[in-house]
Structure 1
């Protein structure tokens, strides 16, 4: 599981940051990529990565401001031109289907794949299968804005090969039976229960990816105990009044949320073009005084989300 940031800027593109979009790469888990927001120029940013548009199966839109959706028509058309034939589902607020279908109709763009829309209203679970669950809640922005919580289901325990060998069990097809938890009878007459040789289940990873918002209680449940929290940081540490006035958040508000929620790592994005160089370092360092494991991301940065057993914290 890896998060690749395609655009980390706020409002308008700048020389160093494109507008909002990130890719959750689930290639090992389900051979898919999920996009969260699709601001103008997203398809151009994807060209600088190893992401294949045909692998994108879901797009989650946080809200309908242009810097989060203006890239959708172009990306959908490019996906068609680059071999995308599998259905694609777009989740988002009322109005997102009208925007997309109108854009495609006016430009006479025909897609060779089915486009599904899930218009969200009542907070709760919007997708769940054997591997993942996605839920959402409303935030506090000038227009309806959502935050998403992505929970990976637990992975089955692995076969403890060293323990199997120590028990004197010969290698061969029996290993597969033991891995499946079956009880097998060995040539020497011993009856072996596979469950005794399987390690504990590996807890899945959890992320919260939030849209534009000012401080609101709803974010606490979305971010509870997540491995990674992606939160906007449009304003700096001394701009709480401005943040509230413009329905955005400061870096310190995001840091306090991460601390209160018990998150393991905080990634700050949606950075104003006012912050460059030393300004970005200031956003990061001041937030780290509240929540140490904070990082301000930049365009095209990829963040791995390891299992807990691989690291005591998310690097």
Structure 2
């Protein structure tokens, strides 16, 4: 069945607002097949940001994020063993976050909190529910968070910023969200305003400077997540966004990106070989063998000092000079 063409709109760079670009890659929605459109990813000639241009209008969001989108069906889409492993890894991750802080009971904000699993982990570690906030684009998830005693806000962070306590959060996390938004610079402005002096911002997002990007760059790289990833960043563009808001970079870390590796092969096989059965075997949510192989591969590469295609930025909001005296 031929699908309708999506409504698209031309856009400027989400990092520097420039409109000078060159074509970088082209590809289709190989994951969910929501349209037959071929999408263009361009590289900003002023700052190096990669972005989808033109991209779907907001009216198409319900199309490009279909009901079977994995984030809406987390417990069904992902292998139960992988879920248990992720739960354990998430607890390790949260404890690592706390090492950046001077308080074991931070006021915490998770932007794009999903089902609130990080809020729940922090509560298990002793942080009171009244200190834990989540923002999500799902009414159902937010209502459940509120019922569980957490602070929940429905909408984009730019839209709910005024409802949150300004300059009060010790820790804000933005995990695999920045690449989905239309204006990363505006989002970073909102987050910086919400951070308390001495507060920590942790951002995880796809990294465009890695081996798998080079191998599959022309259109098959899994990190493109066409047409849902609208801006794709690097350490340089992340640093620019943070520094513009007066944030100091503490560290960049590189994390495993098994799903990008696996989806890259899926897309290549699906499009070039037209072998749906083999392509479906490359499923990062269900294939434990491939998940283990590529997770281990990226862990070793990161340990040896190589970049992976999943980058973590840890940034600090410094105290004003008057507060340091």
Q: Same fold (TM over 0.5)?
A: no
Larger Rg: 1
The structure with more helix, counted as a fraction of residues = 2
TM-score between both structures, scaled by the size of structure 1:
0.37
